[in-house]
């Protein structure tokens, strides 16, 4: 590695860039340190780039007492240097970092052997080593700041979200979502979580109809059942009526089907979601269920794993500029209640909720013992809202036969 750096130091422009780095000479070999000094002195004196043969000639002049074998070794070093091309500043910084890490690693390893063999009985040597080089390798960092002009700030923050909700009562309070946002949706079993995202994506004026590319990643219900919910939501036909309205149902689903991609992810974890987003560049991702993608490795508690999982999901949303819908189960505390809150998230009362940009908690009316039919009213608790700031409950109707939510 040092040959690449030494060759690049002969370039005048690179030499000036290199001066922004801090790196102790000890990362170079003893011969490399001598050549490095010769290069720096020569480039500073002549104020231009030099060739390896020019530096070699200067080196011999400055070291007239070299033996024949030493000259042969120096010549071999310059021959290797001449075979290298000038590298970029970013590559040089990486190489310097790697060389420094190797050097410090060897020094620490040597100290370790001294401790093992009883030659050291205090940590003073280790502390001294770390203090000695703590400030010696700090590459000058060039930061591309995320500042925006006034007009860009207005355009990117006050304009309507790209993907609009198609439930009017919800849209009135939270217009829609954009890439980079994590939307956590929670409910008890049999409230209609899967139908909720099916309606948002495949229903009239849904995300798919708006042109969004949507990945639906399932590990709860079989994919074929989720697919059916999307077919029902797109057509507005009950399951029993699909075949009697085959032409219309097919036509409506065909209008959006190329925008929606389904996958059973029962055997996958969140890192796979990151990879698939990198490959397919979705606008919207639905994780049904998000918690089941958590990796327990390295976590002794479930809540810690779920918090880390939500952090990862949010990072994926930002990294790939997609809106991430994270479907979750609510705890038994939410059973039979209309007013819900963040602490009712199953397995993680605070950690997972902290990562959400928007949290929608779905509730239905408590069923009475003499109630013959399912109550279709649903209540969407907007319990966290970084998007518009409004908190409260909006009401809508859920037609479980067609998997559609309407205001």
Tens-place pLDDT, residues 242-259: 999 999 999 999 999 999
The pLDDT value given to residue 62: 86
Bond before 289 cis per omega within 30 degrees: yes
- C-alpha 195/C-alpha 185 separation (Å) is 12
Q: Which of 186, 257, 266 is nearest to 227 (CA)?
A: 257
For the segment 75-86, the average pLDDT, to the nearest whole number, is 89
Give residue 100's pLDDT band: very low, low, confident or very high (50, 70, 90): confident
pLDDT 10s digits, 102-122: 777 787 888 788 777 777 666
Structural tokens at position 211: 């042109």
Q: Is residue 342 a contact partner of residue 324, using CB atoms and an 8 Å limit?
A: no
What per-residue confidence (pLDDT) applies to 390? 95
Q: How far is Cα 27 from Cα 139, in angstroms, rounded to an integer?
A: 14
> What pLDDT is recorded for position 13?
81
Which ranges of 122-269 does DSSP label H, i.e. alpha helix?
124-134, 150-158, 168-173, 193-202, 223-235, 246-254
Write down the mean pLDDT value for the chain.
Answer: 88
Residue 398 has pLDDT above 60, yes or no: yes
* Average pLDDT of the residues in 186-213: 96
For the chain, the C-alpha Rg in angstroms (whole number) is 32
pLDDT at 17: 67
Lowest mean pLDDT among 150-164, 172-186, 346-360, 369-383: 369-383
Return all residues near 263 (Cβ < 8 A) that are at least 6 apart.
215, 216, 217, 218, 223, 276
Segment 206-232 shows an average pLDDT of 96
Res 313 pLDDT > 80: yes
Can you tell me whether residue 281 is helix, strand or coil? coil
Identify the residue whose tokens are 């608790």. 381
pLDDT given at position 300: 82
CA 339 from centroid of its chain's CA atoms? 33
Please name the residue that has the structure tokens 């966290």.
Answer: 384
Mapping DSSP to helix (H, G, I), strand (E, B) and coil, where does residue 407 land?
coil
Least confident window among 14-23, 36-45, 318-327: 14-23
> What does the alpha-carbon distance between residue 121 and residue 123 come to, in Å, rounded to a whole number?
7
Do the Cβ atoms of 323 and 179 come closer than 8 Å?
yes
For position 347, what pLDDT does the model report? 87
10 or 24, higher pLDDT: 10
Report, as an integer, the average pLDDT of 303-325: 94
In whole angstroms, give the CA distance from residue 391 to residue 381.
Answer: 8
Query: What pLDDT does 186 receive?
Result: 96
- 242 three-state secondary structure: coil
Retrieve residue 346's tokens: 């199953």
Give yes or no for residue 296 having a pLDDT over 90.
no
Phi/psi for 397 (5° steps) reads: -110, 140
Sequence-distant (6+) residues with CB within 8 A of 80 are 3
Answer whether residue 289 shows pLDDT above 80.
Answer: yes
- Residue 397 clears pLDDT 90, i.e. is over it: yes
User: Quick one: pLDDT at residue 173?
Assistant: 96
Confidence (pLDDT) at 108: 81
Pairwise CA distance, residues 216 & 226, whole Å: 9
Instruction: Write down the pLDDT at residue 183.
Output: 97
Name 71's Cβ contacts closer than 8 Å, sequence gap at least 6: 60
Residue 314: which pLDDT band, with cuts at 50, 70 and 90? very high
Residue 50: which of 34, 59, 388 has the closest Cα? 59
User: Of all residues in the chain, what percent carry a pLDDT higher than 70?
Assistant: 91
Nearest of 283, 290, 295, 362 to residue 326 by alpha carbon: 290
Distance separating alpha carbons of residues 25 and 33, to the nearest angstrom? 6
Question: Hey, is 172 helix, strand or coil?
Answer: helix
Residue 178 pairs in a beta bridge with none
What average pLDDT does this structure show over 4-10? 86
Contacts of residue 157, defined as CB under 8 A and 6 or more positions apart, other chains included, come to none
- Please calculate the CA angle 46-48-53 and round it to the nearest 5 degrees: 85
pLDDT confidence band for 141 (50 / 70 / 90): low
What is residue 181's predicted lDDT score, i.e. its pLDDT?
97
């Amino acid at each position: 590695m040092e040959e690449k750096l030494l060759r690049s130091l002969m370039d005048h422009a690179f030499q000036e860039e290199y001066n922004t780095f801090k790196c102790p000479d000890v990362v170079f070999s003893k011969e490399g340190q001598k050549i490095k000094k010769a290069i720096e002195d020569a480039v500073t004196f002549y104020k231009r780039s030099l060739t390896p043969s020019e530096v070699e000639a200067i080196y011999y002049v400055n070291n007239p007492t070299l033996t024949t074998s030493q000259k042969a070794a120096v010549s071999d070093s310059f021959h290797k240097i001449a075979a290298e091309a000038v590298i970029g500043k970013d590559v040089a910084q990486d190489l310097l970092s790697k060389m420094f890490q190797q050097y410090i690693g060897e020094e620490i390893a040597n100290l370790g052997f001294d401790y093992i063999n009883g030659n050291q009985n205090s940590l003073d040597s280790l502390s001294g080593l770390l203090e000695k080089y703590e400030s010696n390798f700090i590459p000058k960092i060039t930061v591309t700041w995320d500042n925006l002009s006034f007009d860009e700030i207005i355009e990117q923050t006050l304009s309507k979200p790209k993907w609009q909700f198609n439930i009017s009562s919800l849209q009135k309070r939270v217009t829609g979502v954009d890439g980079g946002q994590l939307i956590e949706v929670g409910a008890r079993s049999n409230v209609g979580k899967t139908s909720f995202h099916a309606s948002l994506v495949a229903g009239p004026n849904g995300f798919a109809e708006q042109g969004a590319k949507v990945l639906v990643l399932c590990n709860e219900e079989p994919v074929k059942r989720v697919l059916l919910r999307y077919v029902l939501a797109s057509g507005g036909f009950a399951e029993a009526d699909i075949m009697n309205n085959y032409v219309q149902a097919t036509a409506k689903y065909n209008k959006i089907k190329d925008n929606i991609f389904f996958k059973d992810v029962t055997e996958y974890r969140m890192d796979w979601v990151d990879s698939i987003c990198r490959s397919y560049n979705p606008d919207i991702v639905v994780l049904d269920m998000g918690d089941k993608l958590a990796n327990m490795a390295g976590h002794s508690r479930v809540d810690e794993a779920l918090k880390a999982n939500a952090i990862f999901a949010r990072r994926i949303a930002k990294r790939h500029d997609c809106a991430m819908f994270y479907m979750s189960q609510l705890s038994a505390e939410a059973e039979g209640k209309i007013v819900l809150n963040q602490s009712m998230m199953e397995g993680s009362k605070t950690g997972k909720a902290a990562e959400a940009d928007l949290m929608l908690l779905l509730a239905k009316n408590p069923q009475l013992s003499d109630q013959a039919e399912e109550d279709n009213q649903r209540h969407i608790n907007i319990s966290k809202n970084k998007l518009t700031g409004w908190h409260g409950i909006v009401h809508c109707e859920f037609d479980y036969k067609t998997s559609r939510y309407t205001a």
